Structure 1
Amino acid sequence: MYPKNCWYVACTPDEFESKPLARRICGEPMAFFRDGDGVVAAVQDFCPHRGAPLSLGYVENGNLVCGYHGLKMGRNGKTHSMPKQRVGGFPCVKSYPVEERYGFVWVWPGEPEKADTDAIPHLEWAVSDQWAYGGGLYHINSDYRLMIDNLMDLTHETYVHTSSIGQKEIDEAPVRTRKVDGEVQTTRFMDNVTAPPFWQANLRSKGLPDDQPVDRWQICRFTPPSHVLIDVGVALAGHGGIDAPADKRVNSIVVDFITPETDTSHWYFWGMARNFSPDDETLTDTIRQGQGAIFAEDLEVLESQQRNLNEFPEKKLLMLDIDSGGVQARRMIDGLVQEESP
């Protein structure tokens, strides 16, 4: 269902500022906290004493304290102490490799000895002061691969997002899918079209006219295990489209980190990175609110889709040319899962 020897986005640091965070990832219950050195740690959310979730406790002097009987545990899953009890022989619970980078906490749910932080993708927009980022998190009750399908085939925008980013030209534009340097790319270009409301607003925010024809593009990039980054934008028509000068276009990167929770649920870290007006926090908030509303529409569709799939498990889904990106992504995922199988 999902590969484990991979880095997934687990959470953002603010989620465990005040208390440990419980999160199930790839079917494994984890508790996230900071140790005495301020470094992020993740251990199995299970107290070896009586099985209570460690995440119900608190952090004291860098140790995770069980909220049931006061057992204290370190970042390596080893029990340090417990009031008036001898706990030296307690078995360690599982600990997970974690890395805090780019404003996210990444976790490796698989074999710890195979974890290599160099495998975390480089995100230039997260380290450059020429870019701004705003995003959020949704918990979605659907197979995480349905979200990948959704993002690798943006045809649905015409029907799901009619009031924001959808337009009929998306249906009419040819789609090209290919594998490039270990990723699946799906591209769509629409020339001399009317900008939809979401992009009209972004044109205005950059001081560009919103009532002129534009050339629009969508380049979806899937990288294993479940990351999708989408280069999207519009440029005033006739200036080169995606290659137009910066003062004739407005473009962004739609950020999608999809982390499996169970076979039928996932965590969806969504956002948008832009390389214009990076210091305008009001614009960042406005885009975040608009994008959040758009993705909420996807949430409703995906959860309904999952319920239908649960009800009709014998039904075989049809594959069309517009599904090629999702199909290729699933093949890559299946290959990773097969590699990990005994």
Structure 2
Amino acid sequence: MFLNNCWYVAAWNYEIEDGLVSRTIINEPIVLYRKTDGTIVALQDRCCHRSAPLSIGRKEGDSLRCMYHGLKFNDSGKCIEIPGQDSIPPQACVRAFPVVEQNSWVWVWMGDPAKADPALIPPAVSLDNPDWIFRSGSIDYQANYQLVNDNLLDFSHLFYLHKDSFGVGEDWAHTRPKVTRLDRGVRVQRWMPDQPVPNHLKATVSVETMDLFSTYDYLAPGVMVMHSYGFPGGTVKQFEGQEPHGIHPIRHDVTCQSITPLTDGTSRYFFSWAPNRHALAGATDAQADGMLAIARQAFEEDRIMIEAQARVLDQTPNPKQVPIAFDNALSQMRWVLDKLINEERQPALQPVAAQ
């Protein structure tokens, strides 16, 4: 099951230029394009006549023409022209989806348009924010999106799966984070004292160890914004394990990530990562490029493992899985998503009152 009434990331905004872009979100094909004023349209990618994909059609001004039999649709999905036919049936239309371009992502609302509240868009950091040097990308997974969510909600795997790419210490497999329930997700925070300097920082700092602090909110349907900091040794004791404030970090980086379910068994993983220009260690384009290379290596390690996991699950439906302590955040996030999905379905389950 998928959550319908939420905002899904369909694309990076730089992916939507002059042409037509085909996407699939929760098993629904959509086509995206920019109008002449620069705003983005999201329509059902299926002509109402013979189900030809509109994404292989043609833009005509702010409208879209199907190149099978020539039906033309405006940006609200209404058919405005049928070649050789003056009368246009009112049912000749395709669904238009609410769409918002915000913080470098293109967000599409897949549920009830009347409930498409932009305030529900998870916060992220724009790629053009001058405080950061961003790099970005995306990866497709042959796996259900919940498996990718689970991976991002449990970092105890970092030492085993990413020891060489991220260069983290074994404490990641032993130090449990603080997990706080939010209305539409969870907050995960963790102090890691006296840690080896991560690989992406080794060329920019002179110390051999740091106190690391990370904090991220993970919000429905699968959006993470994480801030990571490096401080001099002893900082964790100074703040007694609480969130740091009023102190300048040696390093500070941010990553924005989103998991979009394409189909029941496929997902797209959008990611960005950036060093902060104002941290004591500074930031350069070369550092940002190096961080992207490390991220791609690590995320490929994730993809191989998660797709292998998905194949095993396909072969063994409903396997017995034993929870461990580090499953706290992912279990709570699954609970939040189940709750939202059940609330969304509830009106349809209510019996009709007798007249």
Q: Could you state the TM-score of these two structures normalised by the residue count of structure 1?
A: 0.90
Q: 2:232 — aligned with what?
A: 236
Q: 2:69 — aligned with what?
A: 69
Q: Which moved more, 1:289-298 or 1:303-312?
A: 289-298
- Contact 1:183–1:223 (CA<8 Å) still a contact in 2? yes
Q: 2:260 — aligned with what?
A: 259
**Runs (5+) with no aligned partner, structure 2:** 349-355
* Residue among 185, 195, 212 paired with 2:208: 212
- Contact 2:18–2:34 (CA<8 Å) still a contact in 1? no
How far residue 180 of structure 1 moved from its aligned partner, in angstroms, is: 4.3
* Residue among 196, 199, 207 paired with 1:197: 199
Q: Which moved more, 1:179-188 or 1:111-120?
A: 179-188
* Residue among 167, 170, 176 paired with 2:169: 167
Report SS of the residue matched to 1:243. Answer: coil
Q: 1:186 — aligned with what?
A: 188
2:101 and 2:187 mapped to 1: Cα distance? 27
Pairing 1:224–2:220 present: yes
Query: Pairwise CA RMSD of aligned residues?
Result: 2.2
- Contact 2:75–2:96 (CA<8 Å) still a contact in 1? yes
2:109 and 2:196 mapped to 1: Cα distance? 44
1:182 and 1:110 mapped to 2: Cα distance? 16
Report SS of the residue matched to 1:31. Answer: strand
Pairing 1:6–2:31 present: no
2:145 and 2:10 mapped to 1: Cα distance? 14
Distance change >3 Å, CA 181–CA 52, structure 1 → 2: closer
* Residue among 327, 331, 352 paired with 1:323: 327
1:212 and 1:9 mapped to 2: Cα distance? 38
**Residue type matched to 1:236 in 2?**
P
1:281 and 1:80 mapped to 2: Cα distance? 49
Report SS of the residue matched to 2:114. Answer: helix
How many residues align? The count is 336
How far residue 283 of structure 1 moved from its aligned partner, in angstroms, is: 3.2
How far residue 50 of structure 1 moved from its aligned partner, in angstroms, is: 1.6
- Contact 2:186–2:329 (CA<8 Å) still a contact in 1? yes
Q: 1:78 — aligned with what?
A: 78
Distance change >3 Å, CA 247–CA 332, structure 1 → 2: closer
1:288 and 1:216 mapped to 2: Cα distance? 20
Report SS of the residue matched to 2:326. Answer: helix
How far residue 120 of structure 1 moved from its aligned partner, in angstroms, is: 1.5
Query: Residue by residue, what CA displacement relative to the aligned partner does 1:74-110 show, whole Å, maximum 9, x if unpaired?
Result: 1111112243333521521111000111111100000
Q: Which moved more, 1:219-228 or 1:153-162?
A: 219-228
Distance change >3 Å, CA 112–CA 42, structure 1 → 2: same
**Residue type matched to 1:5 in 2?**
N
How far residue 248 of structure 1 moved from its aligned partner, in angstroms, is: 4.5
1:142 and 1:105 mapped to 2: Cα distance? 22
Query: Residue by residue, what CA displacement relative to the aligned partner does 1:280-302 show, whole Å, maximum 9, x if unpaired?
Result: 43433332222122111111111
- Contact 1:255–1:273 (CA<8 Å) still a contact in 2? no
**Residue type matched to 2:220 in 1?**
P
